[in-house]
């Protein structure tokens, strides 16, 4: 637990220091590479139904981690998702997925109200919750992204209670992770839109991997 908290604090400090840096350092994580298969999961959507990895198959998905009381990047992330929902409205194959890192407070009912604030289409944009440890393991081990609750004595004046990555994850029709994009960086979001269009136009399953697991971890650098 102590190690997890220490890592969480370090991740939060790193994110605060680098959030608005130029995206050039993040480009190794972009560009339709293969970062592996989305791990199995079972979470609850805001309407109460179970959602698993099989629900992503056959769709192109953009996934992120948020929490509804977040005073930091979450409103920016959700506003970006709103824009993507609007701009790609004609693409039935697109799925948007936001997962809370504060499941204790973010019940399905709370997530439904949050979804309304951002005009989320319930058929296209899902808000998921579940067991806290399962969500953290999913983020940390499945995507190598930070997701930790901050101890009370380490919480900033902004009121943030959790730390998590501001990255959007692009997932193809076979549920493989294809790229990571910093949601607070306009250039990175432009590249996400470019790569998203390519995946939406490509209806054939990807046949080969373009990046090994070792190179993936090296490129992520603990992000």
Express each pLDDT in 58-102 by its tens digit: 999 999 999 999 888 899 999 999 999 999 999 999 999 999 999
d(C-alpha 166, C-alpha 184), whole Å: 7
Mean pLDDT of 38-55: 96
End-to-end CA distance of the chain: 19
Lowest mean pLDDT among 42-46, 132-136, 148-152, 178-182: 148-152
CA dist 24 and 101 (Å) reads 28
Who contacts 219 (Cβ-Cβ below 8 Å, separation ≥6)? 28, 29, 211
What does the alpha-carbon distance between residue 67 and residue 11 come to, in Å, rounded to a whole number? 16
In 92-152, DSSP assigns E strands to 94-100, 125-129, 147-149
Q: For residues 212 and 210, give the distance between their C-alpha atoms in angstroms, rounded to a whole number.
A: 7
Confidence of residue 38 (pLDDT cuts 50, 70, 90): very high
Q: Can you tell me which residue has the tokens 């192109």? A: 60
223 with 144: CB under 8 angstroms?
Answer: yes
Which residue ranges make up each domain of the chain?
2-19+28-220
Given a cut of 80, whether residue 37 has pLDDT beyond it is: yes
Q: Which CATH architecture has domain 2-19+28-220?
A: 3-Layer(aba) Sandwich (3.40)
Q: What's the rounded Cα separation, in Å, for the pair 46 and 12? A: 27
Strand pairing class (125-129; 162-164): unpaired
Look at residue 128 in the predicted model and tell me its pLDDT: 98
Which residues share a beta bridge with 147?
164
For residues 38 and 196, give the distance between their C-alpha atoms in angstroms, rounded to a whole number.
17
Residue 37 phi/psi, 5-degree rounding, is -80, 140
Exposure pattern of 129-150 as b/e (b: 16+ CB <10 Å)?
A: bbeeeebbebbbebbbbbbbbb
State how far Cα 159 lies from the chain centre.
21
Grade residue 27 by pLDDT with cuts at 50, 70 and 90: low
CA–CA gap between residue 137 and residue 99 (Å, rounded): 13
Give the Cα separation of 74 and 160 in Å (integer). 11
Per-residue pLDDT at 91: 96
Express each pLDDT in 132-168 by its tens digit. Answer: 999 999 999 999 998 877 667 666 656 677 777 899 9
pLDDT of residue 141: 93
């Amino acid at each position: 637990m102590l190690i997890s908290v220490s890592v969480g604090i370090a991740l939060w400090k790193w994110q605060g220091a680098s959030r608005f840096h130029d995206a050039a350092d993040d480009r190794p994580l972009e560009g339709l590479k293969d970062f592996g298969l989305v791990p199995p999961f079972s979470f609850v959507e805001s309407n109460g139904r179970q959602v698993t990895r099989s629900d992503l198959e056959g769709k192109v998905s953009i996934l992120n981690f948020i929490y509804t009381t977040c005073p930091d990047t979450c409103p920016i992330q959700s506003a970006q998702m709103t824009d993507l929902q609007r701009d790609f409205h004609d693409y039935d194959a697109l799925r948007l997925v936001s997962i809370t890192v504060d499941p204790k407070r973010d019940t399905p009912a709370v997530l439904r109200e949050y979804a309304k604030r951002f005009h989320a289409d319930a058929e296209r944009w899902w808000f998921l919750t579940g067991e806290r440890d399962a969500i953290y393991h999913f983020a940390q081990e499945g995507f190598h992204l930070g997701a930790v609750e901050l101890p009370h004595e380490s919480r900033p004046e902004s009121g943030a209670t959790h730390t998590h990555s501001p990255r959007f994850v692009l997932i193809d029709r076979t549920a493989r992770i294809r790229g990571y994009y910093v949601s607070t960086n306009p250039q990175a979001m432009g590249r996400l839109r470019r790569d998203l269009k390519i995946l939406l136009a490509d209806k054939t399953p990807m046949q080969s991997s373009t990046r090994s697991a070792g190179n993936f971890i090296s490129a992520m650098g603990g992000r």
